[in-house]
């Protein structure tokens, strides 16, 4: 390898002006022949430089410095896996990268031991910008050292590295894929499962042609097994976070902008209970601060009601009156209790709260 302190070679040619005017850089040939070195046991090894230029006599050519400084190293060959990336390019809307494949998947690199030992990763990039079908490209690899830096052109010049063929397989995107969950086990005595739901309840996925066809046969639904939510002997709501990718069939994947987190919630109530949803717009606000406006964090609140007799019908939102009291409160965000009035024969399973935001009423003058 060339000594890093080696200065550039300067060549001086003596000749008539008309001859010099016809000489270009391509006419000058500089050779450092290792066989001409005085000794190969020194470090660095000094190799004489000889320069020729067409019919110009060697006596009329001067070179400085007269020797090239080289470090001799053992040669080594190692095998490396090729990592493929798209270098931040993306296919057309409605498509995702299903697989990135290098051919060959691993390559042998030969070069000085010091450089071979510095190699951390071998990367190959493929451009998929706006693509709507599979893409295959021949490309040079980029070598990354153990400090995360890319090998320089000089370093690459000492290595024997082959090109690779890279393929990006594109999968179509399917949106509005539903998630359906089951539970396992039995709740505690006197309790029942009211409902089971997931958040989110629909996702977007990408898949191969065969996988999407199979998904369509399943009504575009991902089914979560009962093992994700074991409610054995539970007497209150239960929630479990899962990685949805663990439950996707082969050939399917989440879209790149989707979270892998899915929450599975099982609502558990005393037997004879039901859940009513009341719009927050129906909640009566008492003692609202003067000059202030009140907004709710959610569009609906859940109210859990238990019947004292099996002969009673389930309550609906029209049977329930809800109110909040904001006396003494000022501008800000609060979690406040909700007062609930229900008909005789029913009782609340648990207390109800709601989030509110109290803010000043803006006027046209303030806006201007």
What average pLDDT does the segment 337-342 reach? 95
The class (CATH top level) of 174-270 is mainly beta
Q: Which of 276, 245, 238 is nearest to 260 (CA)?
A: 245
pTM over 0.95? The answer is no
What is the dotted CATH code of the domain comprising 75-171?
A: 2.170.120.40
Domain ranges (residues) in the chain: 10-70, 75-171, 174-270, 273-365
302: Cβ contacts below 8 Å, ≥ 6 apart: 275, 276, 277, 352
What architecture (CATH level 2) is domain 273-365?
Answer: Beta Complex (2.170)
Residue 198: pLDDT over 90? yes
Start-end of H helices in 140-201:
153-157
Across all residues in the chain, what is the average pLDDT?
91
Residues 205 and 173: beta-carbon distance below 8 Å? yes
Tokens 């994700």, residue? 228
Q: How confident is the model at residue 310 (pLDDT cuts 50, 70, 90)?
A: confident
Q: Report the pLDDT value the prediction gives residue 183, as an integer from 0 to 100.
A: 95
């Amino acid at each position: 390898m060339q000594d890093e302190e080696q200065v550039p070679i300067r060549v001086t040619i003596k000749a008539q002006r008309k001859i010099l005017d016809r000489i270009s850089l391509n006419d000058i040939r500089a050779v450092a022949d290792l066989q001409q070195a005085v000794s190969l046991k020194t470090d660095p090894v000094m190799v004489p430089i000889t320069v020729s230029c067409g019919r110009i006599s060697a006596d009329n050519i001067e070179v400085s410095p007269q020797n090239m400084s080289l470090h001799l190293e053992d040669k080594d060959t190692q095998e490396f896996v090729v990592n493929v990336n798209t270098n931040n390019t993306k296919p057309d809307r409605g498509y995702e990268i299903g697989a990135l494949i290098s051919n060959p998947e691993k390559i042998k690199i030969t070069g000085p031991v010091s450089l071979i030992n510095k190699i951390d990763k071998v990367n190959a990039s493929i451009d998929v910008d706006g693509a709507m079908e599979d893409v295959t490209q021949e490309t040079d690899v980029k070598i990354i050292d153990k400090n995360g830096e890319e090998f320089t052109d000089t370093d690459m010049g000492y290595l024997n590295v082959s090109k690779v063929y890279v393929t990006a397989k594109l999968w179509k995107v399917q949106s509005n894929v539903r998630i359906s969950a089951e539970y396992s086990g039995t709740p505690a005595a006197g309790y029942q499962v009211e409902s089971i739901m997931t958040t989110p309840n629909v996702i977007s996925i990408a898949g191969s042609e065969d996988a999407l066809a199979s998904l369509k046969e399943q009504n575009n639904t991902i089914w979560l097994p009962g093992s994700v939510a074991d409610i054995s002997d539970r007497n209150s709501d239960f929630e479990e976070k899962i990685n949805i990718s663990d439950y996707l069939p082969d050939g399917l994947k989440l879209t790149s902008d989707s979270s892998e987190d899915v929450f599975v919630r099982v609502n558990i109530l005393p037997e004879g209970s039901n859940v009513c949803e009341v719009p927050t717009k129906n909640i009566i606000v008492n003692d609202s601060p003067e000059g202030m406006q009140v907004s709710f964090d959610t569009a609906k609140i859940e109210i859990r009601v238990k019947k004292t007799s099996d002969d009673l019908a389930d309550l609906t939102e029209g049977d329930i009156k809800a109110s909040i009291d904001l006396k003494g409160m000022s501008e800000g965000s609060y979690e406040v209790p909700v007062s609930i009035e229900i008909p005789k024969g029913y009782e609340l399973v648990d207390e109800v709260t709601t989030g509110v935001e109290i803010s000043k009423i803006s006027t046209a003058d303030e806006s201007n």
